[in-house]
Copies of this chain bind each other. A is one copy, B any other.
Amino acid sequence: MVRNRPRPATPDPAEQAFLDAYDPDAFERPSVAVDLAILTASGLGLEVALVRRAEHPHRGRWALPGGFVGIDESLDRAAARVLRAKAGLRNVYLEQLYSFGAPGRDPRTRVISVAYYALVDPVQLAHHAGGQLQFGRIHVPWEGETGGPVEVRGAKGEALRLAFDHADILGMAVKRIRGKLDYTPIGFQLLPHAFTLRRLQDVHETILGHPLNKDSFRRRMLASGQLEATGERESQVGHRPAELYRFAKRSAI
């Protein structure tokens, strides 16, 4: 890869001087990382995968899985690589969220982080119980799409202290998926292959943070054309079993 920018003479010395001032090699370069908000929806609510930091800074705090971007690696590939390396996941919904670049966000050095979020069904993450990845429940202290940092709580309801600006990243992720939920089939990504309409509604309510009208939700989802009846029903539920549906076209990256 060519690292040094060719500098042909230009007729305009002012323009030349201006461009010289913006030569990339004249700048100290930041590190660029990806951080991943790996989200899932258990019966308990919206959960996120976290790793406990073993080192300073923020030793003992909880952080989103992340990694640095290779010099010949695209941002999307870096995110997919981290997802595979840290959570063993591939072919799940993965989308770039926002870039965080406050100078002091990492006290060691300048790190610009391109945040991604992944939506995964809980079954695919079950084998991580007790492993490197821990799951925290997301608690959103604001309404609607106001935005702002969120809180994360552990299995016993205790608050988990998040490292760096990861509470802001998670807040942005919640805001994004709340917005997307209205017009895209994003909820399916958080459920197993087959699911009942009630479970899908649970996911939507979990993400949005408020209850939805059952009748209207059913109608809207069935009318959307995104659901396919499997012909099977749930069982062992202590009441009339619901029809199981699948997402008509499960998209993945």
- Which chain A residues have a beta carbon within 8 Å of chain B's beta carbons? 1-8, 10, 12, 15, 19, 22, 24-25, 27-33, 54-56, 67-75, 96, 98-103, 107-112, 114
Who on chain B is nearest to A6 by CB?
A: B56
A56 touches B112 (CB 8 A): no
Instruction: State the oligomeric state as a number of copies.
Output: 2
Residues of B within 8 A of A108 (CB): 2, 5-6, 24
B109 touches A1 (CB 8 A): yes
- 10 residue pairs A–B, Cβ–Cβ below 8 Å: A1-B110, A6-B108, A7-B55, A8-B55, A24-B31, A28-B71, A29-B32, A96-B98, A99-B99, A112-B112
Question: A-side binding surface: helix, strand, loop or mixed?
Answer: loop
Q: Write the nearest CB–CB distance from A13 to chain B, whole angstroms.
A: 11
A112-B68 in contact given A73-B103, A99-B96, A107-B2 (Cβ < 8 Å) = no
In the assembly, what is the distance between CA of A6 and CA of B19, in Å? Answer: 36
In the assembly, what is the distance between CA of A55 and CA of B16, in Å? Answer: 9
A101 touches B69 (CB 8 A): yes
Who on chain B is nearest to A132 by CB?
A: B15
Q: Write the nearest CB–CB distance from A54 to chain B, whole angstroms.
A: 5
In the assembly, what is the distance between CA of A108 and CA of B30, in Å? Answer: 18
A30 touches B101 (CB 8 A): no
B99 touches A75 (CB 8 A): yes
In the assembly, what is the distance between CA of A103 and CA of B1, in Å? Answer: 10
What 19 new A-B contacts, CB under 8 Å, besides A28-B71, A74-B103, A75-B99? A2-B108, A5-B108, A8-B56, A10-B54, A15-B54, A19-B55, A24-B68, A24-B108, A24-B109, A25-B109, A27-B71, A29-B30, A30-B32, A30-B71, A32-B101, A71-B110, A75-B101, A75-B112, A101-B114
